């Protein structure tokens, strides 16, 4: 499993084939695929695993219908094939879900354009499960949905997951193949010396510093990608950080059984309303993120208003307000900036709307570092293979063979409680599950456990406060926390949850 924290001095003495910087889904995928190829590989993450984008996505393993509309059929095809692979290999963690796209008279798109798109969507995935849902059936399945001009809906399937647990699952699988990973370890500097890259790193728990080296360093830090192996001064940034925010809503106030894709009345953007882990999730927004990347992203008051406006327009009888929101969640997407966006970042005209930016990935090299960023959660395996090929660790033939391989990616975890490889499904207070996470999943801080390994901080109105005595006992027994450490961790967690996952007050109207 992920094991105890080794000293950096020990890691510095070892010979690595590859060091991966970044512990989100892309870095975890690179670690897993490199370990599968037999390389001696180490992954370093500056915060907790999946702390950034990979615990804050829309939880969807999907092909992306809108990418077809944008003409990116290849991206959709690759994503759909990977979706089907993950559904096969990780039952419970990745689950097929029904999506409903309501159709309204006089509103684009209509039934037949959607039928054509979904026919192609299913063909690319190798399945056939789309159909038209008549108006009466739709209103029975989605009580409270606005019936104005409603003609029915198109039904199709995609998949849902817990993105953070998917990252952890990749790390656990890599560990069984010999890959190693360490959280709370920051890469400070990279420089090329001869045929090796020297990486200065700092343990953010102990304060220890060391220099590690490897023939190849892959920078998989997502929105932070422009920092390590930075481009020449004056070069426009490669990454356009875009924030997406979500609301977790009390399901008693907004019960849904299927994933709804609905259009926002203000700008016509598609927004999802879907059931997840016993609550209702609404999202996402899509706007430039100008805040400090080293601070946790958080939903703005304007974004909360935007999503509440969407809910109340689609469910006019719900009358939802801030008091019905259990928590918020915001993530920063590492989108590869278009030429227009890069010019805008350099102070030139030609900006492009965030929702118009492509979601494919890119790989580039500089200063002894191979950088990979962008892309989708669903295609993390393909992104990892591209990065390894660019780093010279896979030749073209081996990369093609790996892309086409249909071999299982994961093996069962017989040592773990059943729920650890599945959605939590109401088992959030299962002592066996929490014990497993504390023993095997590199929990350093309480927020690692409550906001990422489990989602207690997002899904419960009290943020898990009712379980505090049991959590204190378990962390004391397994992690050795005394009363002072527990109080410090509980205070830290409450502050983080309130500041970055809470509901901001409404903005005052202009006088």
3-state secondary structure of 250: coil
With a cut of 80, say whether residue 354 has pLDDT above it. Answer: no
CA distance 83 to 157: 11
Other beta carbons within 10 angstroms of residue 385's beta carbon come to 25
35 — phi, psi (to 5°)? -65, -40
CA distance 64 to 308: 24
Radius of gyration of the chain (CA): 23
What average pLDDT does the chain have?
91
Cα–Cα distances in angstroms (integers) from residue 320 to residues 23, 36, 313, 316, 389, in the given order: 36, 48, 10, 9, 50
79 — phi, psi (to 5°)? -65, -40
Confidence bin at 71 (pLDDT 50/70/90)? confident
334 — phi, psi (to 5°)? -90, 80
Residues composing the chain: 511
Lowest mean pLDDT among 65-69, 108-112, 387-391, 489-493: 65-69
On whether the CB atoms of residues 147 and 168 are closer than 8 A, the answer is no
Beta strands in 162-238 (DSSP E): 180-182, 185-193, 196-203, 209-214, 216-219
| Conformational region of residue 396, where left means phi above 0, alpha means psi within -120 to 50, and beta covers everything else | alpha
With a cut of 70, say whether residue 488 has pLDDT above it. Answer: yes
Q: Give the pLDDT confidence of 48-64 residue by residue, as tens digits.
A: 999 999 999 999 999 98
446 closest CA partner among 488, 502, 499, 416: 488
Confidence bin at 421 (pLDDT 50/70/90)? low
Q: Token pair for residue 150? A: 């409603």
CA distance 296 to 257: 31
pLDDT value at residue 234: 66
| Domains defined along the chain, listed by start | 8-54+164-238+337-404 (3.50.50.60), 244-334 (3.30.9.10), 418-500 (no CATH)
Q: Give the pLDDT confidence of 22-45 residue by residue, as tens digits.
A: 999 999 999 999 999 999 999 999
On whether the CB atoms of residues 158 and 259 are closer than 8 A, the answer is yes
- Sort strands 369-374 and 216-219 into parallel, antiparallel or unpaired: parallel
Other beta carbons within 10 angstroms of residue 495's beta carbon come to 11
CA distance 413 to 435: 15
| Conformational region of residue 215, where left means phi above 0, alpha means psi within -120 to 50, and beta covers everything else | alpha
| Conformational region of residue 405, where left means phi above 0, alpha means psi within -120 to 50, and beta covers everything else | beta
| Alpha-carbon 403 to chain mean position | 22
With a cut of 90, say whether residue 170 has pLDDT above it. Answer: yes
Report, in this order, helix, strand and coil percent for the chain, each rounded to 5: 35, 25, 40
Q: Give the pLDDT confidence of 383-415 residue by residue, as tens digits.
A: 999 999 999 999 999 999 999 999 999 998 877
Q: Token pair for residue 251? A: 């399901």
pLDDT value at residue 227: 86
Percent of residues, the chain, with pLDDT higher than 90:
80
On whether the CB atoms of residues 499 and 457 are closer than 8 A, the answer is no
CA distance 118 to 412: 33
> Quick one: average pLDDT of 187-209?
95
CA distance 431 to 446: 15
Residue written as token pair 């996952």: 501
Q: Token pair for residue 341? A: 């966006």
Q: Give the pLDDT confidence of 294-343 residue by residue, as tens digits.
A: 999 999 999 999 999 999 999 999 999 999 999 999 999 999 887 644 55
Other beta carbons within 10 angstroms of residue 233's beta carbon come to 5
Cα–Cα distances in angstroms (integers) from residue 490 to residues 224, 329, 448, 453, in the given order: 28, 20, 12, 16
**DSSP single-letter state for residue 215:** S
CA distance 461 to 324: 10
- Sort strands 180-182 and 41-44 into parallel, antiparallel or unpaired: parallel
């Amino acid at each position: 499993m992920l094991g105890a924290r080794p000293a950096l001095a020990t890691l510095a003495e070892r010979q690595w084939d590859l060091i991966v910087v970044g512990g989100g889904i892309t870095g975890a995928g690179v670690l897993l695929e490199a370990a599968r190829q037999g390389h001696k590989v180490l992954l370093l993450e500056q915060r907790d695993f999946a702390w950034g984008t990979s615990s804050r996505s829309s939880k969807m393993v999907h092909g992306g219908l809108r990418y077809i509309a944008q003409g990116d059929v290849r991206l959709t095809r690759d994503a759909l094939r990977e979706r089907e692979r993950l559904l096969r290999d990780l039952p419970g963690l990745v689950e097929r879900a029904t999506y409903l796209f309501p159709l309204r008279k006089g509103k684009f798109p209509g039934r037949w354009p959607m039928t054509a798109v979904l026919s192609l969507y299913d063909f690319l995935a190798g399945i056939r499960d789309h159909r038209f849902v008549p108006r009466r059936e739709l209103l029975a399945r989605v009580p409270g949905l606005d019936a104005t001009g409603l003609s029915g809906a198109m039904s199709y399937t995609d998949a849902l997951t817990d993105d953070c647990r998917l990252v952890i699952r990749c790390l656990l699988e890599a560990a069984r193949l010999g890959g190693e990973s360490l959280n709370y370890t920051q890469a400070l500097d990279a420089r090329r010396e001869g045929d090796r890259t020297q990486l200065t790193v700092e343990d953010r728990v102990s304060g220890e510093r060391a220099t590690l080296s490897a023939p190849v360093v892959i920078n998989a830090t997502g929105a932070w990608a422009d920092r390590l192996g930075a481009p020449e001064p004056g070069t426009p940034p490669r990454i356009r950080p875009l924030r997406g925010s979500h609301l977790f809503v009390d399901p008693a106030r907004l019960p849904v059984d299927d994933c709804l894709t609905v259009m926002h009345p203000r700008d016509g953007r598609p927004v999802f309303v879907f059931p997840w882990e016993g609550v209702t999730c609404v999202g996402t927004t899509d706007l430039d993120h100008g805040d400090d990347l080293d601070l946790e992203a958080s939903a703005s008051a304007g974004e909360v208003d935007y999503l509440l406006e969407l809910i109340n327009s689609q469910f006019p009888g719900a009358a939802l307000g801030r008091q019905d929101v259990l928590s918020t969640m915001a993530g920063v997407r590492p989108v590869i900036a278009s030429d227009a966006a890069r010019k805008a970042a350099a102070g030139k005209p030609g900006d492009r709307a965030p929702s118009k930016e492509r979601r494919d990935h890119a790989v580039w090299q500089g200063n002894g570092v191979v950088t990979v960023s962008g892309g989708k959660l669903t295609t993390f395996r393909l992104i990892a293979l591209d990065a390894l090929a660019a780093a010279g660790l896979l030749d073209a033939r081996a990369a093609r063979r790996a892309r086409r391989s249909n071999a299982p990616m994961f093996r069962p975890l017989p040592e773990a409680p059943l729920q650890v490889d599945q959605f939590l499904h109401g088992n959030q207070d299962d002592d066996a599950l929490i014990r497993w996470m504390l023993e095997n999943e590199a929990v350093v801080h309480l927020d690692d456990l409550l906001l990422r390994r489990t989602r207690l901080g997002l899904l419960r109105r009290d943020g898990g406060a009712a379980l505090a005595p049991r959590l204190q006992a378990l962390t004391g027994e397994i992690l050795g926390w005394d009363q002072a450490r527990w109080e410090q961790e509980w205070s830290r967690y409450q502050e983080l949850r309130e500041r970055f996952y809470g509901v901001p007050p409404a903005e005052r109207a202009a006088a």
